Amino acid sequence: MTVRRALALVMGAVLCAGASAGCAPGGGGAVPESDGAGGAASRPASRAATPPVDALPGVGPVMRSHLPAGTRQALVVEGTATGSPRSSAVLYEKDPGRGWHAVGGPWPAHNGLRGWTHDHHAGDLRTPIGVFGLHDAGGRLPDPGSRLPYDQDPDFAISGTGHLGEPLEGSFDHVVAVDYNRLPGTTPLDRTRPLGAGRGGGIWIHVDHGGPTNACLTLRRDDMRTLLRTLDPAREPVVVMGPGPELAK
């Protein structure tokens, strides 16, 4: 082998090794973004780490597609597991240029005793999964500064004990109605059920009593008051709720 021939072989090997990280057979050179370190190394790190502006944290494209077009406020309640009564809530707002950002929480929360369901029925002790409007509030105690219409009424009183034997008194001191099987624009006490009584209803966000619920969501008293003062009807607020894997779809 001549010296010129040997030198040519060495240079060819060097060039091939340098190109192999980003080249695909056939000369296309395209590597999917999810294909591990090779693809990531060929992209600027800042682009790979930056989510789209309209990405609500923890909420995937399927669930996000159910957000009303004008919604700029969302309470995301993420259950720890499908069958768990424990969850966590974060309130987000969406602003031009900044996108979705947290303005409240994370707050510990409770949901239905038996967890979550896509097919809620009365008495199943599960909280419905989905995106629901938040239009109306109320409670036994006076309005703490709610921007939503607030109905103070003694009928929000409750007594007895919960699933763990904890006292329920004061749980309805403040509530926000979840627009599941109800008529928005009415007091949370309204019992109209457009989907029929068998599909349940009367699902509220209310003051936590230290245990699981029948289907409602609960927040600690101070967190509940903060939520009431922050929810803004002009931002078309919703609750996005369910176990983490369902929210992420």
* pLDDT value, residue 97: 87
Q: How confident is the model at residue 53 (pLDDT cuts 50, 70, 90)?
A: low
Q: How confident is the model at residue 235 (pLDDT cuts 50, 70, 90)?
A: very high
Question: Dihedral of the CA atoms 41, 44, 45, 50 (nearest 10)?
Answer: -130
Q: What is the DSSP letter of 198?
A: G
Q: pLDDT > 70: what percent of the chain?
A: 78
Helix (H, G, I), strand (E, B) or coil at 207: strand
* pLDDT value, residue 31: 25
Domain spans of the chain? 3-49, 61-247
* Residue 28 pLDDT exceeds 90: no
| Measured distance CA(31)–CA(45) in Å, rounded | 15
- Chain centroid offset of residue 195 CA: 24
Of residues 36 and 122, which shows the higher confidence score?
A: 122
Token pair, residue 25, equals: 């057979």
Q: pLDDT > 90: what percent of the chain?
A: 77
Give me the residue label for tokens 């056939």.
Answer: 26
| Measured distance CA(177)–CA(216) in Å, rounded | 9
Q: How confident is the model at residue 54 (pLDDT cuts 50, 70, 90)?
A: low
Give the mean pLDDT of 45-68.
74
